[in-house]
A and B are shown apart, each in its own frame.
Chain A
Amino acid sequence: MGFFSPDMEFLIDIYQSETTDLIEELNKYLMEAEEKNRLEADAINGIFRVVHTIKSSSAMMGMADMSTCTHHLEDLFFLFRENPSLLKGRENETFDLLYAYSDYVKDEIERVTEEDFQPSQVTELMDRISGELDCCREKKPGVKDGEMWQSGEENGIVPEDEPKENFPAAVQRSAKDALFDTIRLQIRLAEKCQMENVRAFLLINQIKEMCSSLVYRPEDLEAEGAAFQIRSHGLYLELVSDRIGEVTDRLSSSPYVASVREVTENEEETDEGAQEREGSVKEISARETQERRASDRAASDRAASDRAASDRAASDRAASDRAASGRAASERGDSRESASDKNTGRETASSGSETGQNGKAVAELPVNAKSAKNSSILWERIVKLQEVTGELITEHTVLDSMIEKLGNPKELENFSLTFRRLLTDLEELVNSASMMPVSAIVPQLYRTVRDICKKEGKEVKFTVEGEEIEADKNLMDTMMTPLIHLLRNAIDHGIEAPKDRLLAGKDAEGKVTLEVNSEEGTLVFRVKDDGSGMDPQIIMKKAQEKKLLTKDADDYTREEIVNFILVPGFSTMTEANEFSGRGVGMDAVRSAVEELGGVLEVYSEKGQGSEFVMQVPVTMTSVDSIHFMVGDVNCLIPAKSIERIYSMAEVSGQLSFVDGRELFQGSRMLPVLRMREVFGMPKAEEGEPEHLLVLQGIKSAVCIAVGQMIGQQTAVKKELPELFDSAYRGQTGISGCAMIGDGSLGVMLSAEKLIQLYQKGLEEDARAKHNQ
C-alpha cells in the first residue's frame, strides 16, 4: 500500500503537474532576482503566492511535512512582503534557501507517482527556514508563529470594519462595494470527480480575483469531511463581483463542474433538507450569462467613477499586493484555461478589457504559457495525438498504394489528395503543439551554472542567445543532458579562478554563452566560454599514451587533436571531482548527439576559450523518403539526405579501391558502403539491379550501394524496440522503422549514422595499422 490511496491516483498527477509548474515559476523568479541580486516586490509577492498554493495543495494531499515546511517559508515571505528591508544583506542566504526548497519540492514531487512513495525527512531544511524566520523576527518583533497572515492577508485585504463572523471563509476585497448585489451560487461537481475539496479550492482560486467579496462553504476546505460535504450538498459561494458573467463562465467551463446554480438566501441544503428546490433555484444558462455580461459592462461603466473614489483609499494599500498576487493567480488560471480550451475547443471565457490584465501578465511572464505545455498530462495527450497522426499518415500511404493497384481511378485519387491535404494540416498543428521555446530550459541551465560556480568559487556571466527559438519538446528534453555536461565542463575545466583570470589579463568574471540557431532543418547549439582553452600538447601526449593515433603526430591538425577528447574514456584531468574528470562526459555527449543523428564539433584555442557545436536534425512526424531494397529488406531514407542516385552500371568505371576501401570518383571522391555487407548479407546475385546513392549528412557525405529502387513515399518513423539498442543502430545505420505501401515494415536508414559507421570503421582500421 502506497502513501496515497489508489482512488487518488489521477489527482496525484494533477498535484504533481501543478506543483512542478509552480516550482518552475519559483525558479524563474529566483533566476531573475539573482541576476539583479535583489528580490523586488513583484518577486516577493509572486514567491509568496507560489508557496501559499503549494502549502495548501500539499496539505490537502496529506503531505504534512511539505505543507509545514512550506508554511514556514510562507511566513518568512510574509515578513519580507511587509518589510522588504528585512532582506537587505540577506539576499544570498535567501536565494540559497529558496533553491534548497525548490530542490526539496522537486525531488518529492518527482517521486509522488512511484508506487512505494513515502515523503522524505525535511528536518534540515525546516531548521534553516526556521533560523531565517527567527532572524527576521528579531528584526521585526511582535509577530508570533502562525499569526502573520491569518488576519485576511492570506487571500487579499480584509477591511477592518467588516463583520468577520458573516464571512467565515472569506476571500474579501472592497466588500463595502455595495453597487453590485450579492450573488449566491451552488456549485455541483461532476459525479465521481473525487477530491471535491481540492477542486473547490482550485475553483475559488480561479475566481477570487474577479470578486470584491467572496465567501464559501464549507468554510474549511482542508477539514476532514469537506470533500464529502461538497459531494453531498455542493459548494456554496456568496460573492460580489462586477464581472459576474465572467465568474459564472469560468466556473461553468471547469471540466469538473456539473452545474452552477443561483440560489436564494438561506437556501443552502442541509442533511435534513437536501431535496431539490427547483422553484427557487435556477440554472445559469449561456444566454443569461451573456445578458449578465452586458449588464456587468453597463453597471461597470456607471459605477466606475463612484467606485474609483470610494475604493481608492481602501485599495491603495492593497493595490500592489493584489496586482502581484492576482497576476500569479490569474496566470495559473490562464494556464489551466488554455489547456482546457485546447482540450475542449472552447473559446476562452475572458474577453474584452477584462482580459487585458491577464493577457499582459502572461506576456510578461511567458514561462506560464510554457508551463501549460509542460504539464505532463497535457504533454501525454500531445504525444498520443502525434502517434495517432503518424498512424493516419501511415495508413494513407497504404491507401495510396491500394489506389495505385486499382489503376488510379480519378475519384479515388482526388479523395486521396484531399485526405492528404487534411493530414498535412493536422500534422502541422500537432507539430506546432509539441514545440517549446529554448527559454523553457534556461532556468535549469542557469541553476547548473550557479551551483558549479558556487562550489568551484568561480565567477561566470551566463547568457543565452536564441531563447525564442522553438523546437520539439522531445528533442529539447534529450538535449538537456549534453547541454548540462558541456556547461559543467566549460566552468569546471574552462573558466579559470578569478585571480588567475586577472593575472591572465581577463575580467575576473568569465563568460559562458549558449547560442541556439535554426539552420536548414537542423538546430545548432553552441556552448562557448572565454576560459583557458585546451592545450593541444597535453591532449596529444594523452592520445599517444592511449594509442589513439591513426597517423604520425605531426600530421594532426589542431582541430583533429582537440577532437581526441571525444574518444571514450579520454580525460586529461589527473583527478576527478564532483563535476568532471572521469573521462566519460564528452563521449556521452557525442553519443547523445549522434543518437539524434547529429554531429558534435569542438574548437579550442589555448588561453582563449573553447566552443562546442552540437548540430541535430529537427524531428518531424513524417518525412518524404526514398524506398529501395537491400537484398530482401525494404529500406527507406529521407529524400533530403540523397544528393544523387546512379545506376551502378552507369558509374562502375568511377569506382576504385584504395587501401582496401572502395571509393567513388564523382564530382568529389567519396567512400562507398556496400549495404549488403553492412547488413551481413551475401553478395548480390548476377543480374540483380544495383544502385549507388550519394548521401549528404550534416558535415560529410558517403555513397551506399543498394539494390532495386522502389519509389518515393511519406514515411512516419517509429522507434525500434529496446532490444535493438544503440550498438545495433550504430552497426547497421538503421535509425528506426516505418510502414511501407504494402502494409509491412521497412527499415529507416540515417545518412548521419551511415557516415559515422564508415568513419568509425576507418578510424579503427587506421589505429590498428598505426599501432602494429
Chain B
Amino acid sequence: MQEQNTINRPKDGLVIIRQGETFYGIYSSRVLEIVNEPRITAMPKQPDYLRGLFNYKGRIVPVLSFGKLCGEERKEQERVCILFSLHHQTMGMLVEDVTKMIYDEGREIPCSEEERIRDHICIRKVLMETVPVFVLDLPEVIKRLGTAART
C-alpha cells in the first residue's frame, strides 16, 4: 500500500461500507445501486465466495460476499447489496451496512502490519474525519475472485 497520495484516481465520491468494526470505501462512479435485503437465490454447487444470483432489472447478477473476501464472513449480518459495474459486467456485493457517501478524498494514512491482509484488495487507507477507511480496488477484488474460482 502506498503511503504517498500519488495514485491517479477519479474525482468522485466514496460509498462507505461498514463490515464489522472496519470501514471500506468504493468509488461511487462504480456503484449502480444499493439494495437493502435483496432476494438472492443460491445456486447449486456455486463457488464458495458467491452468495447467489439477484435479478436486477431483468438482468441476472452474481452476488459476492464481501465478508468472505475479507475473511470475516458473518452471513446473517450481510444484508445490503452494492451493485457495481466492472469490465462490462454487473455484479453485486453483500456487505453488512452502507453508512454514508462522502465527497472527500480524505487524508492518506499508513497501514499497520496487521492490516496487510487488506493490501490485496485495497488501494489505500485514508482518514475520513476521524475514521480510517480502506479504499477498495474493485478490479483487484474481481481478479482475486477469478483466482479463487480457478482454485
- Set of chain A residues within 8 Å of B43, measured between Cβ atoms: 633, 724, 734, 747
> Looking across the interface, which residue of chain A has its beta carbon closest to that of B55?
A745
A745 contacts B44, CB within 8 Å? Answer: no
B89 contact from A722, A743, A745, A747, Cβ within 8 A: A722
Q: Knowing that A391-B58, A721-B61 are A-B contacts, what are 18 other residue pairs whose CB atoms are under 8 Å apart, sorted by A's residue number?
A: A387-B58, A633-B43, A679-B45, A680-B44, A681-B44, A718-B60, A719-B60, A720-B53, A720-B60, A721-B62, A721-B91, A724-B43, A724-B62, A732-B44, A734-B43, A737-B53, A745-B60, A747-B43
Residues 702-741 of A contacting B (Cβ, < 8 Å): 718-724, 728, 731-732, 734, 737, 739
In the complex, A633 Cα to B39 Cα: how many Å?
Answer: 14
B138 to chain A, nearest CB (A): 15
Q: Name the interface size band of chain B.
A: 20 to 34
B49 to chain A, nearest CB (A): 10
B45 contact from A391, A680, A739, A743, Cβ within 8 A: A680
B58 contacts A390, CB within 8 Å? Answer: yes
In the complex, A753 Cα to B125 Cα: how many Å?
Answer: 48
In the complex, A743 Cα to B89 Cα: how many Å?
Answer: 23
In the complex, A431 Cα to B76 Cα: how many Å?
Answer: 43
- Set of chain A residues within 8 Å of B53, measured between Cβ atoms: 720-721, 737, 745
In the complex, A116 Cα to B113 Cα: how many Å?
Answer: 42
A723 contacts B60, CB within 8 Å? Answer: no
**Given A739-B55, A744-B39: A723 in contact with B50 (beta carbons within 8 A):** yes
- Set of chain A residues within 8 Å of B149, measured between Cβ atoms: 723
Residues 42-90 of B contacting A (Cβ, < 8 Å): 42-47, 50, 53, 55, 58-62, 89
Listed A/B pairs (9) with beta-carbon separation below 8 Å: A390-B58, A633-B42, A634-B41, A680-B44, A721-B60, A728-B45, A734-B43, A734-B44, A737-B60
- Pick from A633, A721, A744 the residue with the most CB of B within 10 Å: A721
Residues 128-151 of B contacting A (Cβ, < 8 Å): 145, 149
> Looking across the interface, which residue of chain A has its beta carbon closest to that of B41?
A745
B62 to chain A, nearest CB (A): 4
In the complex, A744 Cα to B145 Cα: how many Å?
Answer: 25
A748 to chain B, nearest CB (A): 11
Which secondary structure dominates chain A's binding surface?
mixed
A390 to chain B, nearest CB (A): 7
**Given A737-B53, A739-B55, A745-B55: A723 in contact with B62 (beta carbons within 8 A):** yes
A743 contacts B39, CB within 8 Å? Answer: yes
In the complex, A724 Cα to B55 Cα: how many Å?
Answer: 15
B35 to chain A, nearest CB (A): 14
In the complex, A633 Cα to B45 Cα: how many Å?
Answer: 11
In the complex, A534 Cα to B94 Cα: how many Å?
Answer: 55
In the complex, A288 Cα to B58 Cα: how many Å?
Answer: 47
> Looking across the interface, which residue of chain A has its beta carbon closest to that of B59?
A718
> Looking across the interface, which residue of chain B has its beta carbon closest to that of A736?
B60
- Set of chain B residues within 8 Å of A722, measured between Cβ atoms: 89
- Set of chain B residues within 8 Å of A724, measured between Cβ atoms: 43, 46, 62
Residues 625-674 of A contacting B (Cβ, < 8 Å): 630, 633-634
A235 to chain B, nearest CB (A): 39
B47 contacts A723, CB within 8 Å? Answer: yes
A736 to chain B, nearest CB (A): 8
B113 to chain A, nearest CB (A): 34
In the complex, A681 Cα to B46 Cα: how many Å?
Answer: 12
In the complex, A249 Cα to B44 Cα: how many Å?
Answer: 59
- Set of chain A residues within 8 Å of B55, measured between Cβ atoms: 718, 739, 745
> Looking across the interface, which residue of chain A has its beta carbon closest to that of B64?
A723
- Pick from A634, A732, A745 the residue with the most CB of B within 10 Å: A745
In the complex, A732 Cα to B50 Cα: how many Å?
Answer: 17
**Given A391-B58, A745-B55, A745-B60: A721 in contact with B44 (beta carbons within 8 A):** no
- Pick from B42, B44, B89, B91 the residue with the most CB of A within 10 Å: B44
A104 to chain B, nearest CB (A): 29
> Looking across the interface, which residue of chain B has its beta carbon closest to that of A725?
B149
In the complex, A722 Cα to B59 Cα: how many Å?
Answer: 12
- Pick from B50, B53, B89, B91 the residue with the most CB of A within 10 Å: B53
> Looking across the interface, which residue of chain A has its beta carbon closest to that of B45?
A680
In the complex, A47 Cα to B50 Cα: how many Å?
Answer: 55
B41 contacts A744, CB within 8 Å? Answer: yes
In the complex, A634 Cα to B46 Cα: how many Å?
Answer: 15
- Set of chain B residues within 8 Å of A394, measured between Cβ atoms: 58
A382 to chain B, nearest CB (A): 16
B141 to chain A, nearest CB (A): 13
- Set of chain B residues within 8 Å of A734, measured between Cβ atoms: 43-44
- Set of chain B residues within 8 Å of A634, measured between Cβ atoms: 41
In the complex, A745 Cα to B53 Cα: how many Å?
Answer: 8
In the complex, A737 Cα to B55 Cα: how many Å?
Answer: 10
B119 to chain A, nearest CB (A): 25
Q: Interface 1/0s, chain A 377-401, versus B by CB < 8 A?
A: 0000000000100110010000000
B47 contacts A679, CB within 8 Å? Answer: no
Q: Interface 1/0s, chain A 742-755, versus B by CB < 8 A?
A: 01111100000000
In the complex, A421 Cα to B16 Cα: how many Å?
Answer: 48
B41 contacts A732, CB within 8 Å? Answer: no
Q: Interface 1/0s, chain B 98-142, versus A by CB < 8 A?
A: 000000000000000000000000000000000000000000000
In the complex, A724 Cα to B58 Cα: how many Å?
Answer: 17
> Looking across the interface, which residue of chain A has its beta carbon closest to that of B52?
A745
> Looking across the interface, which residue of chain A has its beta carbon closest to that of B57?
A391
- Set of chain B residues within 8 Å of A391, measured between Cβ atoms: 58
In the complex, A731 Cα to B61 Cα: how many Å?
Answer: 21
Q: Interface 1/0s, chain A 94-114, versus B by CB < 8 A?
A: 000000000000000000000
- Set of chain A residues within 8 Å of B50, measured between Cβ atoms: 723
> Looking across the interface, which residue of chain A has its beta carbon closest to that of B58?
A391
In the complex, A390 Cα to B59 Cα: how many Å?
Answer: 11
> Looking across the interface, which residue of chain B has its beta carbon closest to that of A718?
B60
> Looking across the interface, which residue of chain A has its beta carbon closest to that of B50?
A723
A389 to chain B, nearest CB (A): 11
- Set of chain B residues within 8 Å of A747, measured between Cβ atoms: 43-44
In the complex, A246 Cα to B43 Cα: how many Å?
Answer: 59
In the complex, A498 Cα to B145 Cα: how many Å?
Answer: 55
What are the nearest 8 A-B pairs in CB distance?
A: A679-B44, A745-B41, A721-B62, A391-B58, A718-B60, A723-B62, A680-B45, A744-B39
In the complex, A731 Cα to B58 Cα: how many Å?
Answer: 25
> Looking across the interface, which residue of chain A has its beta carbon closest to that of B87?
A722
- Set of chain B residues within 8 Å of A739, measured between Cβ atoms: 55
Residues 223-259 of A contacting B (Cβ, < 8 Å): none
**Given A390-B58, A737-B53, A744-B39: A721 in contact with B89 (beta carbons within 8 A):** yes
In the complex, A739 Cα to B42 Cα: how many Å?
Answer: 13
- Set of chain A residues within 8 Å of B47, measured between Cβ atoms: 723
In the complex, A745 Cα to B61 Cα: how many Å?
Answer: 11
- Set of chain A residues within 8 Å of B45, measured between Cβ atoms: 679-680, 728, 731-732
In the complex, A394 Cα to B55 Cα: how many Å?
Answer: 12
In the complex, A718 Cα to B61 Cα: how many Å?
Answer: 11
In the complex, A368 Cα to B100 Cα: how many Å?
Answer: 55
- Set of chain A residues within 8 Å of B46, measured between Cβ atoms: 724
In the complex, A391 Cα to B57 Cα: how many Å?
Answer: 9
- Set of chain A residues within 8 Å of B61, measured between Cβ atoms: 721
In the complex, A387 Cα to B47 Cα: how many Å?
Answer: 28
- Set of chain B residues within 8 Å of A630, measured between Cβ atoms: 44
- Set of chain A residues within 8 Å of B59, measured between Cβ atoms: 718
- Set of chain B residues within 8 Å of A387, measured between Cβ atoms: 58
